[in-house]
Amino acid sequence: MTPAPPTTDQPIVALSGIVKHFASGTLALDGLDLKIAPGEFVSLLGPSGCGKSTALRLIAGLAAPTSGTVEVSHHQGEARSAKAIGFVFQEPTLMPWTRVRENVRLPLTLTRAPATESDARVEAALARVGLTEFADSYPRELSGGMKMRVSLARALVTDPDILLMDEPFAALDEITRFRLNNDLLALWRNLKKTVIFVTHSIDEALLIGNRILVLSPHPGQVKAELNAGHLGFADLGTQPFELLSRRIHELLFADTVETALVNEVHRGA
């Protein structure tokens, strides 16, 4: 069943008028505005180089905007911290010299969490992604999909309110990707996190995002926003799915930036 659409009246993440200029002279983002409600699963879709990773880094506080404001709040009311945001990076960044368990523990070590609490959290995060049996393996002993699960467990281990995922499944085969998409959706339903999920794949964005923000080509702005909360795996290949997919395709290839709320398919249809 489709949950009621969350409201962005009190966003957990709000970017307004974001401009990001790099010292190299590249203008990565030029007037990016977005608001994300607590508990939303938002897909960010856009061509390569449009500033998706840059936007996630700004939200995580790993980089600062040239101008504009980044506001991030948390259920616990804490200041933004490594603990409150989980980040699954675009590049796999597991430590090859240490076991899965220690890879997952890293954010807790960095935040100096007490050892007994850390042990329980690490085991729980491994169980959530189905890797309990591989806790003592080294990353080189795992498949690509399993390595991605380790990254996901590491992002979940601090029990963050916000999960930022930068094309996490892009390098995986379609079968593994669909399986992980499904698992991620189940996790999201259970854990009630806010997820911001970057992808190049229109199908993936439609299947797992409740809302899709389509970004314009370099420099990035939000070009259109679509609701897709009613679509799931059972809709793949159906007419409503194909209609929305075609519309996104057109938007990605259109020249002009039009801020449109596209709702061709009724929620719950």
CA angle 181, 167, 102 (to 5 degrees): 85
Among 54, 118, 216, 245, binds ligand ATP (CB under 6 A): 54
Question: Which residues, 44 to 73, sit near Mg ion by CB under 5 A?
Answer: 53
Cβ proximity to ligand ATP, 158 vs 216, nearer residue: 216
Sign of CA dihedral 223, 211, 267, 207: positive
Shortest spacing between CB 60 and ligand ATP, in angstroms: 13
Among 24, 116, 190, 256, binds ligand ATP (CB under 6 A): 24
DSSP notation for the chain: -PPPPPPSSS-SEEEEEEEEE-TTS-EEEEEEEEEE-TT-EEEEE--TTSSHHHHHHHHHTSS--SEEEEEE--TT-PPS-TTTEEEE-SS----TTS-HHHHHHHHHHHTT--HHHHHHHHHHHHHHTT-GGGTTS-GGGS-HHHHHHHHHHHHHTT--SEEEEESTTTTS-HHHHHHHHHHHHHHHHHH--EEEEEES-HHHHHHH-SEEEEEPSSSB-EEEEEE-TT--GGGTTSHHHHHHHHHHHHHHH-SS---EEE--S-TT-
- Looking at the Cβ atoms of 75 and 218, the one nearer to ligand ATP is 218
Give the shortest CB-166-to-ligand ATP separation in angstroms.
7
Q: Stretches 48-56, 66-74, 110-118, 127-135: which one binds ligand ATP (CB under 6 A)? A: 48-56
Q: How many amino acids of this chain bind ligand ATP (CB under 6 A)?
A: 14
Closest contact distance (angstroms) between CB of 24 and ligand ATP is 4
Q: Using CB under 6 A, which of the segments 9-17, 47-55, 151-159, 223-231 binds ligand ATP? A: 47-55
Contacting residue, 15, 42, 50, 85, with ligand ATP by CB under 6 A: 50
Q: Does 218 bind ligand ATP (CB under 6 A)?
A: yes
| Residues paired with residue 13 on neighbouring β-strands, in sequence order | 36, 72
The dihedral built from the CA positions of residue 178, 182, 188 and 191, taken in this order, carries a sign that is negative
Closest approach of ligand ATP to the CB of residue 169, in Å: 14
Nearer to ligand ATP, 166 or 235 (CB): 166
Q: How far is the CB of 100 from ligand ATP (least distance, A)?
A: 26
Total residues belonging to the chain: 269
| Helix 144-156 vs helix 100-110: crossing angle, to nearest 10 | 30
Closer residue to ligand ATP, CB minimum distance, 52 or 211: 52
Using CB under 6 A, which of the segments 1-9, 42-50, 144-152, 235-243 binds ligand ATP?
42-50
**Cβ 215 to ligand ATP, closest distance in Å?**
7
Residue from the set 30, 52, 150, 177 that interacts with ligand ATP by CB under 6 A? 52
Scan residues 145-204 and list those touching Mg ion (CB under 5 A): none
Site residues (CB under 6 A) for ligand ATP?
22, 24, 26, 28, 46, 48-54, 90, 218
